[in-house]
């Protein structure tokens, strides 16, 4: 079956007293563009009808004030499609035939084919290939029964299966209706004194951070209806009202913006001058509680995806070396079969920047169904993973907007290492090491260092293959280095456990093949240097990332000596190198092809 959908997208909605809502929508969508950037669209209430603009490509250069200067109700969307054409017809909002109902959608209606057939049989005509388009048609059908827009949206939502978030508007009502099951939607409350003057809904907070930092969270299975002055939250299933708290978010707009940097990726790499220290700044009692939970657990599992998964792998080494404890890592998508080992006394530690990754949420559900406890280490406060966990530690990295994860990884590593030290009864020692490391990172990321990496990128940018090796905690960092280089520069990069080379991969090395060797001043240093010699003997161009110079290095990238925190410092120059490889190959590092920031589908 063909499957057309828009699984990782950015949603924005506003209703209130402002008249420049299309400008706010376009600006808000620009900050959500990391979630999807193949097409965009906006629909706004224009008197008693809906006007819209949809286009293919990025929204970055669009001026939203040109769309309308007199609308107070708007919805908008940036799309990222895994299947189906990138066309104006497939861009959101999607409409019913009369264009009286508009819907933006993130996620998948898994039963859309069946609903589409049912609606076609009733005479509805479809103009796109999306699953989303069933929503406005289905809502129109229910309007015939109830006359009430919010009620019609609720009845339509009860028919959808899958994980989704939608926002819908109707040309004859001054209200916005939103619902979610699985995909994030956050409400922003704009106030003048104590009076509410507008409500925002968005997939992520930076979309409305310029206007308000007061938020309310819509949870799975809930919907809301708002006219810009008041808001009503209710259960999709029963229609019963749900009470919500207002929460103030702490991240400042400045921390979410690019500042003077050309790209978010470089800005976020440079944020690591401070963000490692922000991650270390945890409450001692909370870290000790978590350490105790690990001691008490009968089996601890670490779960994460992609880069966060590499943090988990590094933590296996932290726990083994620092605290003599065995923990098991599985990528979120592979966790399902581990359920045989789960008991009520098991502990699942999940790592996620966004807190919205579907594979991780599924692993949590599996663990919870067995009665196990879940500890999460997340960046985005109030995210689905954060709220569904028994304990959460935040890495406090501030918004990470570039698709490639950088500062979130080092924050995750710092918190995991802190826990390992706490488990060994040495929390203060761990804190001291990490704060010293944070200061060393601050020194390391100076303009001369960055320029040195820029020059190195220039030397290797034409190469089509690149290999990275590491041992111990530098092995997951070798895997992570490969992810970073692949995703932004599109160079074929692969990471290996250094000792595995001689079992096969060494056959790939030719004269001049760049080989990055991640080294620490530790017990495995002689071994990895001897593996590097083997690469050099086959013609490898050896780039040593190491606290110490060595004659086998063709290029030496100096890193501070950081003991058990070596993985944190060693990955940073590779992030910078990946960034310059992308830029020098003419690629946009912030928006790599085929990828989106939050992976909210399985
Ligand atoms: C790569 C990258 C991804 C994410 C992964 C998990 O640079 O960012 O591999 O690490 O998709 O995302 P989170 O951490 O949001 O769960």
Between CA 569 and CA 577, with CA 571 as vertex, the angle to 5 degrees is 120
Given 249, 283, 300, the domain boundary residue is 249
152 and 208: one domain?
Answer: yes
Pocket test residue of 82, 313, 353, 362 for ligand 1, highest count of atoms within 8 A of CB: 353
**Inter-residue contact 422 to 288 (CB < 8 Å):** yes
Verify cis geometry, omega within 30 degrees of 0, for the bond prior to 93.
yes
**Is 81 a member of any domain?**
yes
Percent of the chain as helix, strand, coil, to the nearest 5:
40, 25, 35
Is 549 part of the annotated catalytic residue set? no
Of 401, 418, 445, the one marking the end of a domain is 445
| Domain match, 412 and 492 both | no
Backbone torsions φ then ψ of 518, nearest 5 degrees = -95, 115
* pLDDT score at 252: 64
Single residue among 249, 277, 293 that ends a domain in this structure = 249
Domain that holds residue 508: 447-591
C-alpha 554/C-alpha 237 separation (Å) is 64
Residues 242 and 273 in one domain: no
Which carries the bigger pLDDT value, residue 346 or residue 58? 346
Section 387-400 average pLDDT: 94
User: What is the rounded (10 degree) CA torsion for 12, 16, 17, 23?
Assistant: 10
Compute the distance between CA of residue 458 and CA of residue 352 in angstroms, rounded to an integer.
33
Give the pLDDT score at 4.
36
Backbone angles phi, psi at 258, to 5 degrees: -75, -20
* pLDDT surpassing 60 at residue 1: no
510 in a structural domain? yes
The CA 79 to ligand 1 mean position distance, Å, reads 19
* 298 and 168 in a common domain: no
Q: CATH number of the domain that 107 lies in?
A: 3.60.20.10
Instruction: Decide if 4 is inside a domain.
Output: no
CA 480 / ligand 1 centre spacing (Å): 11
At 67-124, the pLDDT tens digits run 998 999 999 999 987 566 899 999 999 999 999 999 999 988 999 999 999 999 999 9
What's the pLDDT at 382? 87
* Residue 599: inside a domain: no
- Whether the pLDDT of residue 376 is over 90: the answer is yes
Q: Are residues 441 and 361 in the same domain?
A: yes
Q: Kindly state whether residues 528 and 422 are assigned to the same domain.
A: no
User: 């299966």: which residue's tokens?
Assistant: 161
Nearest to 102 by CA among 42, 145, 146: 42
Q: Are residues 279 and 332 in the same domain?
A: yes
9 has catalytic annotation: yes
The pLDDT assigned to 378 comes to 97
Q: Do both 437 and 508 map to the same domain?
A: no
Which of these is catalytic: 9, 157, 312, 515?
9
CA–CA separation, 208 and 190 (whole Å): 9
The answer on 436 and 293 residing in a single domain is yes
The verdict on residue 374 lying in a domain is: yes
| Pair 441, 451 in one domain | no
Higher pLDDT, 259 or 286: 286
Length of the chain: 602
Give the nearest ligand 1 atom to 360 CA. 16
The Cα angle at residue 469 between residues 466 and 473, in degrees rounded to 5: 140
Q: What total number of domains does the chain contain? A: 3
**Given a cut of 90, is residue 597 above it in pLDDT?**
no
Q: Whose CA is nearest to atom 16 of ligand 1?
A: 352
Is 401 in the same domain as 476? no
**pLDDT the model gives residue 257:** 73
Q: What is the pLDDT of residue 82?
A: 57
Indicate the DSSP class of residue 286. Answer: H
**Residue 143 pLDDT more than 90?**
yes
pTM score: 0.79
CB within 8 Å of 148: residues ≥ 6 apart: none
- Is 602 part of any domain? no
CATH number of domain containing 323: 3.40.50.10490
571 is a domain residue = yes
Segment 417-470, tens digit of pLDDT:
999 999 999 999 999 999 999 999 998 998 889 999 999 999 999 999 999 999
Q: Is residue 5 part of a domain?
A: no
| Same structural domain, 42 and 78 | yes
At residue 219, the pLDDT reads: 87
């Amino acid at each position: 079956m063909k499957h057309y959908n828009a699984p990782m997208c950015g949603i924005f909605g506003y209703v209130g007293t402002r008249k420049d809502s299309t400008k706010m929508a376009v600006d808000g969508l620009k900050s959500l563009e990391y979630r999807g950037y193949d097409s965009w669209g906006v629909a706004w209430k224009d008197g008693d009808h809906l006007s819209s603009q949809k286009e293919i490509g990025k929204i970055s250069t669009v001026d939203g004030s040109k769309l309308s200067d007199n609308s107070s109700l708007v919805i908008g969307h940036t799309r990222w499609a895994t299947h189906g054409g990138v066309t104006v017809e497939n861009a959101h909002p999607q409409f019913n035939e009369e264009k009286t109902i508009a819907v933006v959608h993130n996620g998948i209606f898994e039963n859309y084919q069946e609903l589409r057939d049912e609606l076609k049989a009733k005479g509805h005509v479809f103009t796109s290939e999306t699953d989303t388009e069933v929503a406005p048609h289905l809502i129109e059908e229910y309007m015939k029964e109830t006359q009430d827009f919010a009620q019609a949206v609720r009845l339509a939502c009860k028919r959808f299966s899958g994980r989704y978030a939608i926002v819908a508007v109707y040309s004859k009502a001054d209200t916005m209706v939103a619902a979610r099951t699985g995909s994030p939607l956050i409400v922003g409350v704009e106030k003048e004194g104590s009076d509410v003057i507008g409500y925002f809904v968005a997939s992520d907070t930076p979309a409305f951070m310029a206007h308000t930092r007061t938020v309310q969270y819509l949870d799975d299975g809930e919907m809301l209806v708002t006219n810009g002055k008041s808001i009503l939250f209710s259960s999709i299933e029963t229609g019963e009202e749900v009470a919500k708290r207002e929460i103030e978010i702490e991240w400042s707009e400045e921390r979410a913006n690019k500042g003077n940097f050309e790209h978010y990726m470089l800005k976020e790499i440079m944020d690591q001058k401070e963000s490692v220290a922000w991650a270390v700044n945890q409450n001692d009692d909370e870290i000790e509680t978590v350490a105790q939970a690990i001691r008490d657990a009968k089996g601890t599992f670490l779960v994460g995806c992609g880069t966060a998964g590499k943090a988990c792998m590094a933590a296996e080494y932290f726990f083994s070396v620092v605290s003599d404890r065995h923990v098991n890592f599985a990528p979120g998508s592979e966790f399902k079969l581990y359920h045989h080992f789960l008991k009520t006394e098991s502990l699942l530690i999940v790592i996620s920047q966004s807190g919205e990754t579907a594979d991780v949420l599924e692993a949590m559900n599996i663990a919870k169904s067995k009665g196990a406890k879940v500890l999460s280490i997340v960046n985005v406060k109030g995210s689905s993973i954060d709220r569904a966990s028994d304990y959460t530690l935040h890495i406090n990295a501030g918004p990470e907007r570039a698709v490639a994860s950088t500062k979130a990884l080092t924050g995750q590593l710092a918190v995991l290492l802190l826990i390992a030290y706490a488990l060994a009864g040495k929390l203060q020692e761990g804190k001291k090491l990490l704060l010293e490391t944070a200061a060393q990172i601050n020194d390391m990321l100076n303009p001369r260092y960055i320029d040195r990496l820029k020059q190195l990128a220039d030397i290797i940018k034409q190469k089509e293959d690149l290999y990275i090796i590491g041992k111990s905690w530098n092995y997951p960092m070798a895997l992570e280095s490969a992810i970073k280089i692949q995703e932004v520069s599109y160079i074929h990069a692969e990471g290996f456990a250094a000792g595995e080379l001689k079992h096969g991969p060494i056959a790939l090395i030719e004269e001049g093949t760049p080989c990055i060797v991640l080294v620490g001043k530790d017990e495995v240093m002689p071994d990895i240097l001897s593996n590097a010699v083997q690469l050099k003997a086959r013609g490898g161009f050896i780039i040593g990332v190491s606290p110490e110079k060595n004659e086998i290095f063709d290029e030496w990238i100096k890193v501070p000596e950081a003991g058990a925190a070596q993985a944190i410092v060693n990955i940073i120059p590779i992030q910078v190198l990946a960034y310059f490889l992308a830029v020098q190959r003419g690629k946009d590092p912030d928006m790599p092809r085929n990828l989106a920031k939050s992976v909210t589908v399985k």
